Homo-oligomer: A and B are copies of this chain.
Amino acid sequence: MSPTVATHFTLKSYLTYQQARIEEALHHFLPSPDSRPQTLHESIRYSVLAPGKRLRPILTLATAEAVGGDSEVVMPTACALECIHVFSLIHDDLPCMDNDDYRRGRLTNHKVYGDAMALLAGDALLALAFQLIAENVSLVPAERILPTLRLVAEASGTWGMVGGQMVDMESQGNEVTAETLRYIHAYKTGALLSASVLSGAMLAGGTETQIENLKQYGAHIGLAFQIADDILDITGDQTKLGKPVGSDEERDKATYPRLYGLDESKRKAHAEVEAALATLSDFDERAEPLRAIARYTVERDL
């Protein structure tokens, strides 16, 4: 457990502490810029080591701690989840997708390295992620790793993030139903967030009941996070959002405020946070970071 949890817990110092650990580990796990092919490795490091919230790997570490485990043993998988997240950002930014020039306040990967290298950097990151999870066997028994890896793979592909991205893309410019909007959010963002939460619990030896509760927790914060993101796209500022405000509207994207209005969307986001907190009722103070993260998903600027 991190020292910051012990006495005066503040989310800010907890996040800072975990971000530093994760970034040090990423530095170590990412391919070296001194090894061939150098420019590809530079391009990978450019995107992964860009400033970021590290929400997914933090969830993995925090969940390992919440079930009473040592978060150090889940670090390779935590880093893998960040690699998968960044792979999706690099590919989503490509001209054939969202065609974005900026991400987290810096030029997108393809604007710096070209489309072909950005494509390959994303591909390499996805393969690296599964390599890291498999290599996590040096710290965690194989029988815990395989179901975790299976879950992460499912959450990354067509039954997860890629499938959600696809439905989101298809829905642009069309009227979407509440069911489709829920599908997009649950799959595009929710699946990998849930997998990040569950990975920590599964690898660190959480009980079946804990894992079942954390599954619900992951689903609720995933949805809260996405609704809040939709709201921030209207009300927020660009630095907090990490992308230009109003870009969803411009792209004619399916969003909660569009379907339900701003007030009802805020209500829904807060309801998801309450539901997430309820799933943690049987956890002790070691779940405090997970509780604070749940609140944080909507308190960023709502």
Across the interface, do B128 and A36 meet the contact criterion of CB distance under 8 Å? Answer: no
Interface stretch of the complex, out of A3-11, A59-67, A163-171, A272-280 = A163-171
Would you list which residues of chain A between 115 and 160 have a CB under 8 Å from chain B? 115-117, 119-120, 122-128, 130-131, 134-135, 137, 142-143, 145-147, 149-150, 153-154, 156-160
Q: How many Å lie between the Cα of A183 and that of B134 in the bound state?
A: 26
Residues of B within 8 A of A183 (CB): 36
Across the interface, do A163 and B36 meet the contact criterion of CB distance under 8 Å? Answer: yes
Given contacts A37-B163, A123-B123, 13 further A-B pairs with CB under 8 A are A36-B183, A37-B167, A40-B166, A94-B119, A96-B119, A123-B126, A123-B157, A127-B154, A127-B162, A128-B153, A130-B149, A134-B149, A135-B150
Copies in the complex: 2
Across the interface, do B130 and A116 meet the contact criterion of CB distance under 8 Å? Answer: no
Would you list which residues of chain A between 34 and 81 have a CB under 8 Å from chain B? 36-37, 39-41, 44
Q: How many Å lie between the Cα of A53 and that of B140 in the bound state?
A: 39
Across the interface, do A137 and B146 meet the contact criterion of CB distance under 8 Å? Answer: yes
Would you list which residues of chain A between 248 and 298 have a CB under 8 Å from chain B? none
By beta carbon, the residue of chain B nearest A128 is B157
Residues of B within 8 A of A130 (CB): 130, 149, 153
Query: Is A31 in the interface zone, CB < 8 Å from B?
Result: yes
We find that the number of chain A residues with CB closer than 8 angstroms to chain B is 53
Question: Which single member of B37, B128, B167, B170 contacts A166 (CB below 8 Å)?
Answer: B37
Across the interface, do B96 and A158 meet the contact criterion of CB distance under 8 Å? Answer: no
By beta carbon, the residue of chain B nearest A44 is B158
Question: Which single member of B91, B119, B167 contacts A97 (CB below 8 Å)?
Answer: B119
Across the interface, do A134 and B153 meet the contact criterion of CB distance under 8 Å? Answer: yes
| Chain A contact residues: helix, strand, loop or mixed | helix
Residues of chain A at the chain B interface (Cβ within 8 Å): 31, 36-37, 39-41, 44, 87, 91, 94-97, 114-117, 119-120, 122-128, 130-131, 134-135, 137, 142-143, 145-147, 149-150, 153-154, 156-160, 162-163, 165-167, 169-170, 183
Residues of B within 8 A of A120 (CB): 91, 162, 165-166, 169
Residues of B within 8 A of A150 (CB): 131, 134-135
**Distance of A123 from chain B, by nearest CB (Å):** 5
Q: How many Å lie between the Cα of A158 and that of B115 in the bound state?
A: 17
Residues of B within 8 A of A125 (CB): 157
By beta carbon, the residue of chain B nearest A110 is B96
- Give me the 3 closest cross-chain CB pairs, A-B, nearest first: A127-B157, A96-B115, A131-B153
Q: How many Å lie between the Cα of A165 and that of B124 in the bound state?
A: 11
Q: How many Å lie between the Cα of A87 and that of B128 in the bound state?
A: 15
Across the interface, do B119 and A31 meet the contact criterion of CB distance under 8 Å? Answer: no
Subset of 11 A-B contacts with CB under 8 Å: A40-B163, A40-B166, A41-B158, A95-B96, A97-B119, A123-B123, A123-B126, A126-B157, A131-B150, A135-B150, A145-B146
